[in-house]
Amino acid sequence: MSGTASYHNSSQEEYIPHYLQKEDPFASKLSREADIIAGFYLTIIGILSTLGNGYVIFMSSKRKKKLRPAEIMTVNLAVCDLGISVVGKPFSIISFFCHRWMFGWIGCRWYGWAGFFFGCGSLITMTAVSLDRYLKICHLSYGTWLKRHHAFICLAIIWGYATFWATVPFAGLGSYAPEPFGTSCTLDWWLAQASVAGQAFVLSILFFCLLFPTAVIVFSYVKIILKVKSSTKEVAHYDSRIQNSHILEMKLTKVAMLICAGFLIAWIPYAVVSVWSAFGQPDSVPIQLSVVPTLLAKSAAMYNPIIYQVIDCKFACCRSGGLKAKSSLKKSRTYTISAHRDSTAMNETQLE
């Protein structure tokens, strides 16, 4: 009892996270109506994400031997998004509809691990894609060196990287904890309020799993945009084969840029709230407001297949238009040659 009393007496100097302030950290802090709305929202997001990413994986498997390195990375991104939808979302959907987290601390830690694992895998995959695009567009000598087996080596590094950082909290350096609204779980950002070790853990996660990958992505696409602006006129003088290759590379680059933009737009609000919870005044964020960035971040897995299909259809339309133009040009050439031959034959007949 004396230890408990001294703990509460020091509560004014030491921050007590929300999940230790009440007996039941998994009770929903939202209204039942808000939980039902959030449950329906996540159900729709989960279904669309599962169908979309499943379709991307299925269609890619039909031409798996012809996939380029950037397309292999796109498939890996779809696998990560599908993992979030299948492994993670059912837990939060059930909990929202039940108005409380239903799976206890073990389920909370599993859900937090799975969300962080697949989320980190998605971001590092997009980082690898941005580097691939950068090398293909800005450094052709390195770009032609990259082959399919390099992409598979990169996949092994990505999964190892995500596994390491998602598992670090289980080694006693961090933890997973319920969100302030109670019906979802995440990394324990609130450890930074309690100790220097907690601050070191949170800062490491922020740098290696958010800031550094984002900086690489931004650097790569800024350099690509500058390169494309300066080389557009040069490509126009190349032959059709080089032009077609350039068009395909730019199509893959557009897909990668839009996917990265969608991911960052979805996750940055959540990252801002998380950083504020770690180093600012976490209790100053209203609980009703804290759920919005979480739901927005969970929708990131739905955007990628939509972006991929829109760009792919646009590219297919442009390609079919080019084929029609080539076909009409070929027909006109054939007609001209045949007309020339006919006129030559008529002249020879007249001479005879």
pLDDT at 151 over 70: yes
Cβ atoms of 183 and 28 closer than 8 Å: yes
The mean pLDDT of the chain is 79
pLDDT score for 307: 73
d(CA 71, CA 93): 31
pLDDT value at residue 41: 95
Place of tokens 């009393």: 5
The Cα 157–Cα 131 span in angstroms is: 14
Question: What secondary structure letter does DSSP report for 67?
Answer: -
3-state secondary structure of 177: strand
Could you give the CA distance from residue 55 to residue 209 in angstroms, rounded to a whole number?
Answer: 28
> Taking the CB of residue 138, how many other CB atoms lie within 10 A of it?
16
Return d(Cα 193, Cα 198) in angstroms, integer. Answer: 7
pLDDT of 242-290, one tens digit each?
Answer: 556 666 667 777 777 888 888 888 899 999 999 998 888 877 888 888 8
Q: How far is it, in rounded angstroms, from Cα 126 to Cα 267?
A: 14
Q: Which CATH homologous superfamily contains domain 32-317? A: Rhodopsin 7-helix transmembrane proteins (1.20.1070.10)
Select from 245, 73, 20, 220 the least CA-distant residue to 134: 220
> Residue 178 — very low, low, confident or very high, per pLDDT cuts 50/70/90?
very high
Phi, psi of 31, deg, nearest 5:
-70, 160
Burial per residue of 173-206, b for 16 or more beta-carbon CB atoms within 10 angstroms, e otherwise = ebbbbbbbbbbbbbbbbbbbbeeeebeebbeebb
pTM of the model: 0.80
Give tens-digit pLDDT for 54-68: 998 998 888 888 888
Residue ranges per structural domain of the chain: 32-317
- pLDDT band for position 231 (50/70/90)? low
Helix/strand/coil (H/E/C) assignment for every residue in 13-34 = CCCCCHHHHCCCCCECCCCHHH
Phi, psi (deg, nearest 5) at residue 345: -65, -40
pLDDT at position 35 over 70: yes
Q: What is the pLDDT of residues 286-338, one digit of tens each?
A: 888 889 999 999 888 888 777 766 655 554 544 444 444 344 434 433 333 34
Angle ∠(211,217,223) on CA atoms, nearest 5: 130
